[in-house]
Amino acid sequence: MSDAIKHECGIAMIRLRKPAQYYIDKYGTAAFASNRLYVLMQKQINRGQDGAGVANVKIDTKPGTRYISRYRSIEPSAVNYIFDKINRKYKKAKKIGGHDALTDGNWLKENIAFTGEVWLGHLRYGTHGENSIETCHPFLKQNNWRSRNLVMAGNFNMTNVEELFDKLVQLGQHPKEKTDTVTVMEKIGHFLDEENQRIFDKYKHQFSNEQITQLIENELDMARILRRSCRDFDGGYAMAGIVGNGSAFVVRDPSGIRPAYYYADDEVIVVASEKPAIKSAFNINFNSIKEIQPGHALVINKDGSFAESEIMPAREKKSCSFERIYFSRGTDPNIYQERKNLGKALIPQILKAIDFDLKNTVFSYIPNTAETAFLGMIEGLEDYLAAKRREVFVDGKPHMGDLDELLNFRPRVEKLVSKDVKLRTFITNDEDRDTIVANVYDTTYEVIKSGIDTLVVIDDSIVRGTTLEKSILTTLDKLSPKRIIIVSSAPQIRFPDCYGIDMSKMKEFIAFRAALALIKERKIENTLDQVYDACNAHPYSTENFVKGVYSSFTDDEISEKISEIVTNDDIKAEVKVIYQTVDNLHKCCPDHLGDWYFTGDYPTTGGMRVVNRSFANFMEGKTVRAY
């Protein structure tokens, strides 16, 4: 994606189902779980590079010994930094316990941190606010009773933090922060405390307090806790947690907005945000990896048993389509095919835009995540040419050109754009910064027929259009083509996201800027006032009033205006921008229909309120996010 945006986060969890000695004997290392978690996190590094954290919980330790360990970091290579520190624990074990210490599972668990059965890792993108150690997951809620401790990490955003915060206050709590992470953890922690109390009351006349503690740890009902905790949540989430007794869970929102997958055998239970990470870490088949269903939680009990339980009734599945278009690794076989299909689906629009003149058209892509869609686009062109040959040579339809040329013709494919990773854009002077931005991308010369060829370049998505305007088009125009056609494998982004992607300010969207320009041109500025009045008059409405900003224009009219906006006065070539249609997006990704940033159809009531508030903020000149 040329317009880089921060997004999502990544979670990784491992629950060992055998004693520590089992893994030492079978795999020859005391760091079996640590090594696998490292791979899980490195294979999801695309999901978060602002920080990372790892927590580990030991089960059934003796009183007086530490059983929860945690490291967090915002170092440039946070994952490596954390696991270097963990690995030093094993070196320390050898120094303290002698040569045989690393082969004694019981000794390691009693004496060395990060040798427990339950592991939780998190990768963070700081989409909003500060980036500090204190904002890194996992978060920890501590208590002197093991079964009241809670470690949490997640990939989520809540749209109703204010409401959740007020509920905590009404319960008599005094939350230290008004953030969704803290609020969510405190809410789950509250019902964890109540569950502890419920079991205590059940046995208080039958057993000693010490005996009841063990009964609580064994009988803790995490599914019940989550049902009571999550009923007020509005947002997209995949939240993972570990209780101090060793119970663990991963819970997913009812619309399935945020992803979560798991694998289980008799040795381990593994959870991650992406399937390829699990496959890489444990070398298993993709068909062995399951998706946690929307509205469900994977609950892992203290004894290692597990089940997927319904927490909230599932709604229509609206998993984030940007996961498929861009965010997730393309090594997932389903995502790989979907991205190819997205490129192929654009062929009719592309052929029309180039007047079917393939002979004088060169095809390329914006590196590097658009490469898969590019492959699909070329496949689609090959299919088109095969169909044309079939019409002539099989069906006998007349052909005006040379038959040998038709038989042997192949699409012209070149790598025209490459990114110069050595250039940096942090120069403070605005004028100089624009000069550097314009040269971040480099191009391949002497492959374009000057003034004759059309360039077709595909990108994952065009969000803000700034890189396109200040860099890519300028770079491509140096080749002196007749036309430049930029193709987006995603539809026009018109509305803000509030479920975990850094797209919250409407004025930054190139599609919104295009709509504003058209409104001004046609002198219908009262449209903006009408939408603003509706947003203010009905702040709790579940109707997206902002759709009215776009309702007077066709998709093509918006695209044409975008083409004008991104074409500066120095560009000599004719520029055209083409976007994927929403219908084609749904056909290419039929199981992942989360499209609110394109259509404005948010899967939760909170999302509808956020978009209206976001527009009101724009009209009032406020630059804060709307949730």
pLDDT at res. 426: 36
Sequence-ordered list of residues with C-beta below 8 angstroms from that of 551, at least 6 positions apart, any chain: none
Candidates 109, 59, 54, 110; CA nearest to 84 is 54
The separation between CA 263 and the C-alpha centre of its own chain, rounded to angstroms, equals 20
- Verify cis geometry, omega within 30 degrees of 0, for the bond prior to 254: no
Q: Which two tokens stand for residue 535?
A: 């947003």
d(CA 478, CA 441): 12
pLDDT at res. 423: 43
**In which region does residue 304 sit, left (phi positive, over 0), alpha (psi from -120 to 50) or beta (all else)?**
left
Q: Helix, strand or coil for residue 517? A: helix
Range from 154-163, 291-300, 483-492 carrying the lowest mean pLDDT = 154-163
The separation between CA 375 and the C-alpha centre of its own chain, rounded to angstroms, equals 23
Q: Helix, strand or coil for residue 486? A: strand
Place of tokens 């002497």: 446
Candidates 274, 447, 471; CA nearest to 367 is 471
d(CA 500, CA 617): 19
d(CA 264, CA 15): 9
pLDDT at res. 6: 61
Q: Which two tokens stand for residue 565?
A: 């906006």
Torsion angle defined by CA atoms of residues 48, 52, 58 and 63, in that order, rounded to the nearest 10 degrees: -140
Whole-number percent of the chain with pLDDT over 90: 77
Under 8 Å between Cβ of 491 and 559: no
Query: Mind listing the pLDDT tens digit for each residue in 570-615?
Result: 999 999 999 999 999 999 999 999 999 999 999 999 999 999 999 9
Sequence-ordered list of residues with C-beta below 8 angstroms from that of 520, at least 6 positions apart, any chain: none
Query: Quick one: pLDDT band at residue 2, thresholds 50, 70, 90?
Result: low
d(CA 626, CA 498): 8
Q: Taking the CB of residue 291, how many other CB atoms lie within 10 A of it?
A: 16
Q: Which two tokens stand for residue 378?
A: 């070329």
Query: Mind listing the pLDDT tens digit for each residue in 6-37?
Result: 666 999 999 999 999 999 999 999 999 999 99
Under 8 Å between Cβ of 432 and 444: no
Q: Which two tokens stand for residue 209?
A: 């307090």
Query: Quick one: pLDDT band at residue 440, thresholds 50, 70, 90?
Result: low
Whether pLDDT at 179 is above 90: no
Domain ranges of the chain: 10-317, 323-620
How many distinct helices (H) and strands (E) make up the chain? 24, 20
Question: Within 13 A of 419's CA, how many CA atoms are on the CB side?
Answer: 13
- In angstroms, what CA-CA distances link 592 with 313, 374, 553? 18, 21, 27
Whole-number percent of the chain with pLDDT over 70: 94
Sequence-ordered list of residues with C-beta below 8 angstroms from that of 436, at least 6 positions apart, any chain: 423, 424, 425, 427
Query: Mind listing the pLDDT tens digit for each residue in 313-336?
Result: 999 999 999 999 988 989 999 999
Residues in the chain: 627
Whether pLDDT at 266 is above 80: yes
Mean pLDDT of 469-494: 95
d(CA 135, CA 247): 24
Query: Quick one: pLDDT band at residue 178, thresholds 50, 70, 90?
Result: confident
- Strands 361-365 and 412-413 turn out to be parallel
d(CA 140, CA 176): 13
In one-letter notation, the amino acid at residue 353 is A
Taking the domain 10-317, which CATH number applies? 3.60.20.10
Under 8 Å between Cβ of 374 and 343: yes
pLDDT at res. 7: 62
Q: What is the DSSP letter of 456?
A: E
pLDDT at res. 422: 47
Q: Helix, strand or coil for residue 254? A: coil
- From the number of C-beta atoms within 10 Å of its C-beta (0-12, 13-18, 19+), residue 556 rates as exposed
Range from 251-265, 386-400, 430-444, 582-596 carrying the lowest mean pLDDT = 430-444
d(CA 74, CA 51): 4
Whether pLDDT at 129 is above 70: no
Query: Quick one: pLDDT band at residue 3, thresholds 50, 70, 90?
Result: low
Candidates 412, 418, 493, 419; CA nearest to 456 is 412
Task: Select the CATH number that applies to the domain covering 323-620 from these four: 3.40.50.620, 3.40.50.300, 3.40.640.10, 3.40.50.2020.
Answer: 3.40.50.2020
Mean pLDDT of 223-243: 96
Q: Helix, strand or coil for residue 401? A: coil
**In which region does residue 260 sit, left (phi positive, over 0), alpha (psi from -120 to 50) or beta (all else)?**
beta
Q: Which two tokens stand for residue 586?
A: 């749904």
Helices (H), 176-319: 180-203, 209-219, 222-230, 275-282
Query: Mind listing the pLDDT tens digit for each residue in 77-105?
Result: 999 999 999 999 999 998 898 888 999 99
Candidates 547, 549, 556; CA nearest to 602 is 547
pLDDT at res. 430: 44
d(CA 254, CA 260): 13
**Residue 122 β-bridge partners:** 11, 53
Place of tokens 């835009």: 353
Q: What is the DSSP letter of 594?
A: B
Mean pLDDT of 308-317: 97
pLDDT at res. 132: 83
Range from 96-110, 426-440, 521-535 carrying the lowest mean pLDDT = 426-440
Record the pTM. Answer: 0.92
Query: For residue 38, which phi and psi values (nearest 5 degrees)?
Result: -60, -45
pLDDT at res. 136: 92
Under 8 Å between Cβ of 609 and 541: yes
pLDDT at res. 424: 41
pLDDT at res. 72: 97
Whether pLDDT at 143 is above 70: yes
**Residue 270 β-bridge partners:** 14, 263
Q: Taking the CA atoms of 282, 285, 288 and 290 in sequence, report the sign of the dihedral they define.
A: positive
Query: Quick one: pLDDT band at residue 553, thresholds 50, 70, 90?
Result: very high
d(CA 352, CA 578): 11
d(CA 250, CA 444): 48
Q: What does pLDDT average to over the chain?
A: 92
Query: Quick one: pLDDT band at residue 4, thresholds 50, 70, 90?
Result: low
